Structure 1
């Protein structure tokens, strides 16, 4: 019998599995052909730990050393720009993210495509980093395997049955028996809970569309910062010689293999064009991901109080990679009984008990 059957091969499941693997047998099952297929593999991951509510920020701050030690961080920087009439949103973003206001000339030196005849204010923070998402996922998968665990793709969960000794789970045509289930199924976490006879928490998947566009001829964006419009009405991030632009929408939807909404994407690109001295003439690609949040937009990590053999690791939303090392540590701490690196005072804000 398996000690921990982890359902979900995104950053949530991989971080949980890596934390559990030294303390029992772990099998991770992922429905798709590849790990991180639905959301983790579509993330514009940026390490900026001031995002989110206090417990989320605590996880983010506690994750810095783990991300650095894994070799996943590289310099990026972040900037917020505002147009006329956006002063209130601009000030709120600057205060929340801890940015320092810079002159328009300084902003343009950092990001040459900015239209300084259009934007009226800019602020910048250097100590923000790109996260190599694929490297982090593969590192955690290797850690699971190195401790004798298995990581199985093409294993969608079809049935879950509670037994006297634990659980029987049918996935990918294989029947697994496990003492504990770890529900890290991303947008499908409530669906997995219902399949197991556990009351759902009320997670909401939110679609976010993305477009990849060419950088202007002759310009290398490698050192440009990630740029947000005031109020996060859009954002732009350099990516492998091109630019990723998003309308930063949060449209509630059902769990599915998401795709970009053309109209929403067009609106976001238009807002981007209002702030830059370039025109978007073609797309290289477009896609969407589902950022899944709990009702209070804080991660849910811990044993369900009505059945302690059912462990939640969900609601990563837009914070999955920023918080992954601390989530790995928290899962391990909850199993072994030691204090987590984030401090025990944050556990109630993350525990599923708050929804029961």
Structure 2
């Protein structure tokens, strides 16, 4: 019987980042049910680093992650994972309360500047008069970041098994007996980093789920020849009805900010959401659309209070939650992985996350 100190279920950004921090300190196996790690949410992200994204509970993790993404250790990556973008939060007169709430919630924490959005985005329609510029926002090279985490995991002795599904877990006196599609194995700790499947992993381990819900997000790529510049900021609606960002010359990535509850699955774009996205885009700017070049969807998984869940389950020894990362798992991955390692292994919090309070992320809040 094969035994590991830790088994991580899920090879997306959550499992890969935490695994990279744990490997070398324990024997770690990562189980990924797909043939490619990061196939679902990680591989379908419109990734950016934005301190306001996810709200005040997520902001400390995002802020702490920024320096590690911008200037990673040379042994982790020889180049930065980020490039300048900026975000322009836009709204109409009816969105004034949302504008004021954004400025109030992040006052003193995030650099935000009220602006006239029409001076920044040519073609923005006349009624979009409210704007807040978030200048520190960056694009993230998701593929490079995810591969760097997996590379570090392997370099430190971690083992990744692709196409390996967890069927059942049973608590034993000294840990867990896991039944997988590759056979049985034992471990001391099981980490639930399964994203949209997090509650299902809890169920097959005989536990009560936390209510982590997958929400479908539709994205499409438009060909927009009149796009004034590929360097324009990400444009985010204060009313959370859309956001879009240039993706090279003459192309835009657009989402209607949809959040339709979905079972865990290989997500496909919702055609009504595609139509809504285009309609909302045309409400905001006067750029003609030449074509919808492609469309896709991913599942963003949220706990009931929309904050991530990090820590040991209070009712089940040796079961560690690392889930509920919504759409912010990539931008928070360095800080979250350090936090997860500290919570699991004990000891002082690493200096990079010394200002992060872990209590809002504990699974104890749901038990």
Q: TM-score, normalised by structure 1?
A: 0.92
Worse-superposed segment, 17-26 or 167-176: 167-176
User: What residue in structure 2 maps to residue 353 of structure 1?
Assistant: 364
Provide the rounded CA distance (Å) in 1 between the counterparts of 2:326 and 2:184: 30
Is the contact made by 1:104 and 1:116 (CA closer than 8 Å) also made in structure 2?
A: no
Provide the rounded CA distance (Å) in 2 between the counterparts of 1:138 and 1:345: 26
What pairs up with 1:71-110 in 2 under 5 angstroms? Answer: 71-96=80-105, 98-108=111-121
Q: Alpha carbons of 1:348 and 1:92: their partners in 2 closer, same or farther (altered >3 Å)?
A: closer
**Residues 127-182 of structure 1, C-alpha deviation per residue, up to 9 Å, x if partnerless?**
11011111111111011101111122211222323333322223332332211111
User: What residue in structure 2 maps to residue 139 of structure 1?
Assistant: 148
Point out where structure 1 has 5 or more consecutive residues left out of the alignment.
none
Q: Does 1:185 align with 2:194?
A: yes
**Residues 256-277 of structure 1, C-alpha deviation per residue, up to 9 Å, x if partnerless?**
1111111122112101111111
Provide the rounded CA distance (Å) in 1 between the counterparts of 2:290 and 2:102: 30
Provide the rounded CA distance (Å) in 2 between the counterparts of 1:344 and 1:129: 22
Give the 3-state SS of the residue equivalent to 1:16 in structure 2: helix
What pairs up with 1:274-289 in 2 under 5 angstroms? Answer: 274-289=283-298
Provide the rounded CA distance (Å) in 2 between the counterparts of 1:131 and 1:265: 24
Give the 3-state SS of the residue equivalent to 1:211 in structure 2: strand
Give the 3-state SS of the residue equivalent to 1:34 in structure 2: coil
1:20 positional shift: 1.1
Is the contact made by 1:119 and 1:275 (CA closer than 8 Å) also made in structure 2?
A: yes
User: What residue in structure 2 maps to residue 11 of structure 1?
Assistant: 13
Point out where structure 2 has 5 or more consecutive residues left out of the alignment.
73-79
User: What residue in structure 1 maps to residue 39 of structure 2?
Assistant: 37
2:238 to 220, 230, 233: 230
1:101 positional shift: 2.4
Give the 3-state SS of the residue equivalent to 2:18 in structure 1: helix
Q: Alpha carbons of 1:251 and 1:312: their partners in 2 closer, same or farther (altered >3 Å)?
A: same
2:54 to 48, 52, 61: 52
1:209 positional shift: 0.7
Q: Alpha carbons of 1:208 and 1:334: their partners in 2 closer, same or farther (altered >3 Å)?
A: same
1:251 positional shift: 1.4
Q: Does 1:130 align with 2:139?
A: yes
Give the 3-state SS of the residue equivalent to 1:297 in structure 2: coil
1:52 positional shift: 3.2
Give the 3-state SS of the residue equivalent to 1:223 in structure 2: coil
Worse-superposed segment, 285-294 or 237-246: 237-246
Provide the rounded CA distance (Å) in 1 between the counterparts of 2:192 and 2:98: 37
Provide the rounded CA distance (Å) in 2 between the counterparts of 1:149 and 1:229: 42
Is the contact made by 1:210 and 1:288 (CA closer than 8 Å) also made in structure 2?
A: yes
Q: TM-score, normalised by structure 2?
A: 0.89
Is the contact made by 2:196 and 2:301 (CA closer than 8 Å) also made in structure 1?
A: yes
Q: Alpha carbons of 1:221 and 1:175: their partners in 2 closer, same or farther (altered >3 Å)?
A: farther
Provide the rounded CA distance (Å) in 2 between the counterparts of 1:61 and 1:86: 26
1:82 positional shift: 2.1
Q: Alpha carbons of 1:252 and 1:345: their partners in 2 closer, same or farther (altered >3 Å)?
A: same
Provide the rounded CA distance (Å) in 2 between the counterparts of 1:249 and 1:117: 25
In angstroms, what is the RMSD of aligned CA positions? 2.0
Is the contact made by 1:215 and 1:221 (CA closer than 8 Å) also made in structure 2?
A: no
What pairs up with 1:1-356 in 2 under 5 angstroms? Answer: 1-70=3-72, 71-96=80-105, 98-108=111-121, 112=122, 114-216=123-225, 219=227, 221-241=229-249, 242-341=251-350, 342-343=353-354, 346-356=357-367
Compare the two structures and name the one with the higher helix fraction.
1
Aligned residues: 351
